[in-house]
Structure 1
Amino acid sequence: MSISLSIIYLIATIAFILGLKKLGHPATAKNGNLIAASGMALAIAATIFIHDLQIPTSIYILIGSALLLGSAIGGLMAVKVKMTKMPELVSLFNGFGGASAALIGLVEFSKNVDDKMQATTIVSGIIIGAITFSGSMIAWGKLNGSIKSVVSIPKYNTINNLFFLAIIAFAVFTVSTGASNQAIIFGLLGAGLVYGILFVLPIGGADMPVVISLLNSLTGIAAAITGILYSNMVMLVGGILVGSAGIILTIAMCKGMNRTLGAVIFGAFGGTDSVAGADKRLGSIKKTNPSDAAIMMNYANSVIIVPGYGLAVAQAQHVIHELEELLTEKGVDVKYAIHPVAGRMPGHMNVLLAESNVDYSLLVEMEDINSHFKNTDVVLV
């Protein structure tokens, strides 16, 4: 690798890290996205043009055509998508990333079948990429309503776990025996696709934020594996950043739902198992109506609004902002408590409220606002 290419890859890596940091707050998220995208564009251009290989002109034409086509399709989808449809778009992009890793593995497997380390890397990329692709497509279908929200599968957890162990055993057999038969590698691809479907199909819409975050982390891992395969540091670092950020976010959301990551992956996910203590009544319950609720908020000094999945589905972000403005005009202190799993995907609630021009300073994360509830007059969930 030339020094100039290494320097450009370093700049791109810094752009990824800086962009990821800025994505952590709604006020800087747009700039963060642009910075990270610029770093990726720089890395792609450097990879294509800075090398000492003899590349036929026809290959450059194919690469250029693919870039133009992909950019046009992606840009058109991003421009036309409604804010409430953003989760579907993210699911599609996750799926495309996984499919890319799987396709690369299919192309490279026969060239590296005798190298156990490379073969392990390729097989891992194929399986993870296939799971990510099919799982993301099912998540996309559930989010846009084309697939039934919850599909019951008898003995779901047992079937999934046994199938996953079978895939691992199949992969170990493929690598250890040095099998070069294309039917075997396509069998692994098919097994990964089936597992992705089985993993997501029984999960309900309210659990989709955790699923999307987990699939996003798998996309990053698949990209990192591809970076290892090609000894490309910028792909490796970018994949690690996406994968680790996705895992951290997944764990945070599991914590917010009183679940463990192990329970998410290997059982009690999207099923009927109740959370320990979930049915414990912590106080008296008194029925009310909209008029009484309005009177309570009108005479309150402080109100915390806790938006959730229902608000996202009903697209009621503008109405809730109008309520906030009415209360603020009356001198009521209003805050929004943002749960990690609020909305239809990670960060979706922040985006929806930002779309309705809610001030960023009013959005407070769960850990920061929990201590305020005991001193608040009214909480609107």
Structure 2
Amino acid sequence: MTDFLPTGIELTYLVATGLFIFGLKKLGSPATARQGNVWASVGMLLAVVATLLNQQVLNYQMILVGIAIGAVIGVTAAYKVAMTAMPQMVGLLNGLGGAASALVAIGEFWRLLNAGQGVPLGSTITVILGVLIGGVTLTGSFVAFGKLQGLITGKPVKFPLQQVFNALLLISFLVCSGYLLVTPDNTTIFLAMVGISSVLGIFFVLPIGGGDMPVVISLLNSFSGLAASAAGFVVMNDMLIVAGALVGASGLILTNIMCKAMNRSLPNVLFSAFGSGEVKGGAGDAGGVGDKVVHSIDAEEGAMMLGYARSVVVVPGYGMAVAQAQHTVRELADQLEKLGVEVKYAIHPVAGRMPGHMNVLLAEANVSYDYLYDMDDINPQFDNTDVALVIGANDVVNPAARSNSSSPIYGMPILDVDKAKHAIVIKRSMNAGFAGIENELFYGDKTMMLFGSAKDVVAQLVAEVKQL
């Protein structure tokens, strides 16, 4: 039995790895994402149980206490945290993953020092990687959490020579790393490296605007996976190495998809402080801005346009998330379908504050996945759409991305709302979106503006549609 145990643990790790890969495949579609999460969770359970059977695990009491505390916190968060707060939750979990990896690296460094045999070169390298990636992920994710939660301004926070300061931090860490490789028992240098990596994470995320959070969260998720993989090398655990590598790779792939969806490079997202310009446009009702005319309607007129249409495409955005209007939007769609209106939802890849943000909110409102259409699938249908209902979206529907070569968002793939026969846009005001530019769609001849909070306005539309 004793001889079989190591082999049994490795076989269990192999099965868990297969479940992780299968789960990731399922997560590629909203329709199968829940199944994928279950498969991956089962794989993680097997991996944890197999690890606990390892004879090198000595203090089961402390492990059980940790599991109990973590389970209570996890279950409480699952019940208490609203779906609209999922971006913050994901950012926080990324940070905790980075913290765990950094603590493993720190603990292993201290263990090797106390053993009195010195720290081997290979262990020193893996510890350095764990501290760097884990520290940056921890504090960077916490800053992202603060921006999304409103504890820190969502605008880019800049100061003179900021990138130079960040470069100096990184160079300082590398210099300390070289010194530690030569004198691996120098605890002062090691603690300095822990501090530098933590500070670097803060100043890495601060200059990134809230509108770029989908990319940042995806990248930090990748960092948390790489940190876990580094921790696996530190403690020589194959499962942790493989699982971390899978998370790191999938996070990088998703980051690349997000950047393509905005037609921007990753360095541009991280270092350009995009969205820090002055916001253009005023807080308006109807009327005009300069030579441009804004057509405004009330809820009764909007309900008539929607109720007598044959097809309606709903375009949700961050404004819907902020107002927590997803349930009211679902109610409106139900009322329209009772009148024989075909309702679909157009989902832009970077709408919201995390990848899949709109999908998550609409799933909470029990909107069937069959009604959700990706950008490439829905764009050809706008020509035959009677009314496009835009709820809190801005830059992702701005025609300037196609027509204005001087626009900051030129070339970004957008939802072709302007090609619909009519468009109704629900916004609080005429203020510009994250890119800080006016939206040409709002001044179109076929566009009608409905001003107010998304939840309140949609509720008024529901009441008016019921009267038709």
Instruction: Tell me what 1:202 maps to.
Output: 207
Distance in 2 between residues matched to 1:30 and 1:20, nearest whole Å = 11
TM-superposition CA deviations, 1:14-57 (whole Å, max 9, x none): 11112222222333322322221121121111111144x4x65x
User: Could you state the TM-score of these two structures normalised by the residue count of structure 1?
Assistant: 0.88
Instruction: Tell me what 1:44 maps to.
Output: 48
* Residue 298 of structure 1, CA deviation: 3.1
User: Equivalences for 1:198-277 in 2 at 5 Å?
Assistant: 198-272=203-277
SS in 2 for 1:306: strand
Distance in 2 between residues matched to 1:363 and 1:156, nearest whole Å = 44
Instruction: Tell me what 2:359 maps to.
Output: 350
Query: Unmatched 5+ residue regions in structure 2?
Result: 280-291, 391-468
| 1:3 and 2:12 aligned | no
SS in 2 for 1:139: helix
* Residue 98 of structure 1, CA deviation: 0.3
| Higher-Rg member (1/2) | 2
* Residue 8 of structure 1, CA deviation: 0.3
Please identify, of 261-270 and 234-243, the stretch whose mean Cα deviation from structure 2 is larger. 261-270
Distance in 2 between residues matched to 1:134 and 1:161, nearest whole Å = 14
Please identify, of 72-81 and 210-219, the stretch whose mean Cα deviation from structure 2 is larger. 72-81
Distance in 2 between residues matched to 1:153 and 1:248, nearest whole Å = 28
CA contact (8 A) 1:157 1:268 kept: no
CA contact (8 A) 1:160 1:199 kept: no
Instruction: Tell me what 1:317 maps to.
Output: 326
Instruction: Tell me what 1:374 maps to.
Output: 383
Please identify, of 61-70 and 90-99, the stretch whose mean Cα deviation from structure 2 is larger. 61-70
AA matched with 1:335: K
* Residue 317 of structure 1, CA deviation: 0.5
User: Equivalences for 1:81-92 in 2 at 5 Å?
Assistant: 81-92=81-92
Summarize the Cα distance change of 1:273–1:340 in structure 2 as closer, same or farther, 3 Å threshold: farther
TM-superposition CA deviations, 1:263-300 (whole Å, max 9, x none): 123334454499xxxxxxxxx97523245444433333
Instruction: Tell me what 2:342 maps to.
Output: 333
* Residue 10 of structure 1, CA deviation: 0.8
Distance in 2 between residues matched to 1:2 and 1:203, nearest whole Å = 46
Instruction: Tell me what 2:21 maps to.
Output: 17
TM-superposition CA deviations, 1:177-197 (whole Å, max 9, x none): 344311211111111111111
Instruction: Tell me what 2:154 maps to.
Output: 149
CA contact (8 A) 2:208 2:271 kept: no
CA contact (8 A) 1:123 1:171 kept: no
Summarize the Cα distance change of 1:364–1:167 in structure 2 as closer, same or farther, 3 Å threshold: farther
Distance in 2 between residues matched to 1:345 and 1:33, nearest whole Å = 18
SS in 1 for 2:32: helix
Distance in 2 between residues matched to 1:72 and 1:269, nearest whole Å = 39
CA contact (8 A) 1:160 1:195 kept: no
CA contact (8 A) 1:164 1:195 kept: yes
Summarize the Cα distance change of 1:126–1:375 in structure 2 as closer, same or farther, 3 Å threshold: same
User: Could you state the TM-score of these two structures normalised by the residue count of structure 2?
Assistant: 0.72
CA contact (8 A) 1:167 1:192 kept: no
Distance in 1 between residues matched to 2:20 and 2:176, nearest whole Å = 32
* Residue 134 of structure 1, CA deviation: 0.7
Instruction: Tell me what 1:279 maps to.
Output: none
AA matched with 1:63: I
AA matched with 1:203: I
Summarize the Cα distance change of 1:219–1:269 in structure 2 as closer, same or farther, 3 Å threshold: farther
Summarize the Cα distance change of 1:266–1:146 in structure 2 as closer, same or farther, 3 Å threshold: closer
Instruction: Tell me what 1:289 maps to.
Output: 297
AA matched with 1:92: L
Instruction: Tell me what 2:374 maps to.
Output: 365
AA matched with 2:297: N
CA contact (8 A) 2:102 2:135 kept: yes
AA matched with 2:38: L
SS in 1 for 2:355: coil
Summarize the Cα distance change of 1:285–1:173 in structure 2 as closer, same or farther, 3 Å threshold: farther
Greater fraction helix: 1
SS in 1 for 2:31: helix
CA RMSD of aligned residues (A): 2.5
Report runs of 4+ in structure 1 exceeding 4 Å deviation. none
* Residue 375 of structure 1, CA deviation: 3.1
Instruction: Tell me what 1:120 maps to.
Output: 125
